Structure 1
Amino acid sequence: MSTQPVILVTGADLAPQALALLSDFEVVFAGKTPQLSDVAALARQHNPVGIIVRYSGVNAEVMDAAPALRVISKHGSGTDTIDKAAAAARGIVVTAAVGANAAAVAEQAMAMLLACAKSVVQLNARMHDGHWDKATHKSLELGGRTVGLVGLGAIGLRFATMAHAMGMHVIGFDPFAKNLPEYVTAVDLATIWSEADAISLHCPLTPENKGLLNAETLARCKPGVIVVNTARGGLIDEPALLAAVQSGQVGMAALDSFCVEPMSHPHIFHHQPGFVLSPHIGGVTSDAYVNMGVAAARNTLDALKTLVSAIH
């Protein structure tokens, strides 16, 4: 049995570059799709000093199962699956790999926006069925249109750069953003609803913004607005979005995250016209895999060093 302190990873793997940084620790993997109960059992068995969160999450039960636990490090930017209040109460540091997957997620959001504007999915299906819709189809030109961003962190600003380069007018809401580039106009949410031709969500999920896009806010949007969500599914009231797409109030919706993941089957969005769906893979690229793993490992090491220094 190893005498090295343990780092528990709530996933089946970690980039080799990240593992190399953790050579002084025994790294234990929870498997591809661990549940909270699995993570708690492994925490009880191995008493890790750190947990790197890829899938599932970490709640108070997991923390109490590992008395040695000092840091919970997210393999990504969203920490909504970690009970941060419980961690704070126990003196456990919570960190995130902020910006490590910014390029990957921003590119996914732009790809989904373009797929909606240019009817990529529908035209592809029609072509494979032998149709030639040149005489009847018209796509949407994004240049000159307004895109409203909710969240202007690393991902939102990366998306804003691409949208600006395409000639779009970029407006955004983020109460914490400072020193915005000149091509991003800071506005309130009411302005985004009323002025945006497309809305892209790039904010964390909090109790305050759960269901941010709902029947009331969607009704205030421009008719035919495009909705893109590569952030968290809980930001959207899914039945309200389905109704808005069906009525035409929302022209199309492109979603990479959902209220329940993996997505339930059947789901209300399945086989519905006007939806482009992907399985929360915005941040899943070979480059982001390395970047997030290395950032999560470094954050773990930094937190442990800081705590050790504080003790001594």
Structure 2
Amino acid sequence: MPRILITTDYLRPGDEVDTHLRSLGHTTVHAPLVGRRDPEELVAALDGVDAALVANEPLTADVLARAPRLRVVVRTGVGHDSIDIAAAGRHGITVSNLPGVNANAVAEYTLGLLLSAARRLVQSATAVAAGHWPRQDGRELRGATLGLLGYGASARAVVPLARAFGMRVLCTTGVPEDLRTDPAVTFVALDELLRSCDYLSVHTALTDRTRGLLDAAAFRRMKPTAILVNTARGGVVDEADLAAAVRAGEIAGAALDVVCDEPLPADSPLRGVDGIVVHSHLAGQTAEARAATGREGAAELVAALAGRPRHAVNAHLLPGAGRSA
């Protein structure tokens, strides 16, 4: 029976997912990812493994080439930029993600970051802990314009929450026009989004097109009072340019749940910048979302092993793709 590697840190031996997979006759091996992992350690963990439930493991072309038994990878989340899906396709490895599985958690967290940034809650609590008693005013969300960069499941879940706070919602997306059906959202080009928003919330995948999309030129087009919120992927933002923009007053600040290199390096340009608050990639991490992710991830893994994946992101790259029966 297949041997399954589980690296997602909140999936544990003996839990619901582990019990379910073992009940189907699979052998499970847990090697939780916490922080960074040396590629050689990952290669060793994949030795003799047929399928893997993974977090943000860097499954590079080299790592995949050295995992000859691997047939299925399921990412316990939405983003899959840490996996070389083209290399996986060449090796006949199906790669799946779990679209929308944590959308509600991400949407609520996004509103939390908006509120925290608007009222400078982190800065206030930090100052009180240091013996001060800050009394600076904050800003209200009501009447402000929220710009959404991307229109996936999490962005769509943000819309009714933002509207409940009385915000106007703009969005820039590559989603086809026939899917842009929410009357509460005004769809605009990127330049208008940047110029118009009071808060810019990132919900787009990291691709060659979006890497570094929010750079010095983008920040110069934004309002000096604007705040950036990122719960998607750190690489969408040029971190050095962001730090410089906040220091120069080109934008007011940023609340980041994701960064390019996690955990945040000691020499990151984001450190020590008043107005930039970095959190530890927690947007999708609720008890409810984790439970759903575990169940959906296990179901997708079993389906993929049976040759019936529901959410394969590289089906078009697998050997035989596009051939007629």
**Partner in structure 2 of residue 10 of structure 1:** 7
Q: Is the 8 A contact 1:97 1:292 kept in 2?
A: yes
| Mapped pair 1:54 → 2:55 | yes
When residues 43 and 124 of structure 1 are mapped into structure 2, their CA distance, relative to the original with a 3 A threshold, is closer
More deviation, 8-17/271-280: 8-17
- Aligned residue for 2:186, secondary structure, equals strand
What is the CA deviation profile of residues 55-99 of structure 1, one whole-angstrom value per residue up to 9, with x for unaligned ones?
A: 322122332233332211001110000101111222221111111
1:123 is displaced (CA, Å) by 2.2
| Mapped pair 1:229 → 2:230 | yes
1:133 is displaced (CA, Å) by 4.6
Give the 4+ runs in structure 1 shifted more than 6 A.
none
Q: 1:30-69 to 2 correspondence within 5 Å?
A: 30-33=31-34, 34-44=37-47, 46=48, 48-69=49-70
When residues 133 and 62 of structure 1 are mapped into structure 2, their CA distance, relative to the original with a 3 A threshold, is closer
Q: Is the 8 A contact 1:8 1:52 kept in 2?
A: yes
**Partner in structure 1 of residue 165 of structure 2:** 166
Counterpart-to-counterpart distance in 1, 2:99 and 2:55: 14
When residues 11 and 141 of structure 1 are mapped into structure 2, their CA distance, relative to the original with a 3 A threshold, is closer
What is the CA deviation profile of residues 85-121 of structure 1, one whole-angstrom value per residue up to 9, with x for unaligned ones?
A: 1112222211111111112222222111111111112
Counterpart-to-counterpart distance in 1, 2:154 and 2:76: 15
More deviation, 143-152/88-97: 88-97
Unaligned runs of 5+ in 2: 310-319, 321-325
Q: Is the 8 A contact 1:72 1:95 kept in 2?
A: yes
**Partner in structure 1 of residue 297 of structure 2:** 296
- Aligned residue for 1:306, secondary structure, equals coil
**Partner in structure 2 of residue 98 of structure 1:** 99
Q: Is the 8 A contact 1:21 1:298 kept in 2?
A: no
**Partner in structure 1 of residue 323 of structure 2:** none
Residue identity over aligned pairs, in percent, reads 35
- The amino acid of 2:70's aligned partner reads L
**Partner in structure 2 of residue 119 of structure 1:** 120
1:241 is displaced (CA, Å) by 0.4
When residues 222 and 19 of structure 1 are mapped into structure 2, their CA distance, relative to the original with a 3 A threshold, is same
When residues 32 and 139 of structure 1 are mapped into structure 2, their CA distance, relative to the original with a 3 A threshold, is same
Counterpart-to-counterpart distance in 2, 1:196 and 1:70: 44
What is the CA deviation profile of residues 8-31 of structure 1, one whole-angstrom value per residue up to 9, with x for unaligned ones?
A: 122455162222331221111223
- The amino acid of 1:35's aligned partner reads D
- Aligned residue for 2:307, secondary structure, equals helix
Q: Is the 8 A contact 2:216 2:241 kept in 1?
A: yes
Q: Is the 8 A contact 2:246 2:273 kept in 1?
A: no
- The amino acid of 2:152's aligned partner reads G
| Mapped pair 1:280 → 2:281 | yes
What is the CA deviation profile of residues 125-150 of structure 1, one whole-angstrom value per residue up to 9, with x for unaligned ones?
A: 3444555555xx22111111111001
When residues 101 and 36 of structure 1 are mapped into structure 2, their CA distance, relative to the original with a 3 A threshold, is farther
Q: Is the 8 A contact 2:10 2:290 kept in 1?
A: no
| Mapped pair 1:252 → 2:253 | yes
TM-score, scaled to structure 2: 0.87
- The amino acid of 1:161's aligned partner reads P
**Partner in structure 2 of residue 201 of structure 1:** 202
Counterpart-to-counterpart distance in 1, 2:245 and 2:285: 29
**Partner in structure 2 of residue 305 of structure 1:** 306
**Partner in structure 1 of residue 149 of structure 2:** 150
What is the CA deviation profile of residues 232-255 of structure 1, one whole-angstrom value per residue up to 9, with x for unaligned ones?
A: 111111111011101111111101
- Aligned residue for 1:250, secondary structure, equals coil
TM-score, scaled to structure 1: 0.90
1:272 is displaced (CA, Å) by 1.9
**Partner in structure 2 of residue 26 of structure 1:** 27
The size of the alignment, in residue pairs, is 302
More deviation, 222-231/51-60: 51-60
- Aligned residue for 1:185, secondary structure, equals strand
**Partner in structure 1 of residue 139 of structure 2:** 140
Unaligned runs of 5+ in 1: none
Counterpart-to-counterpart distance in 2, 1:272 and 1:31: 32
1:122 is displaced (CA, Å) by 2.1
Counterpart-to-counterpart distance in 2, 1:127 and 1:113: 21
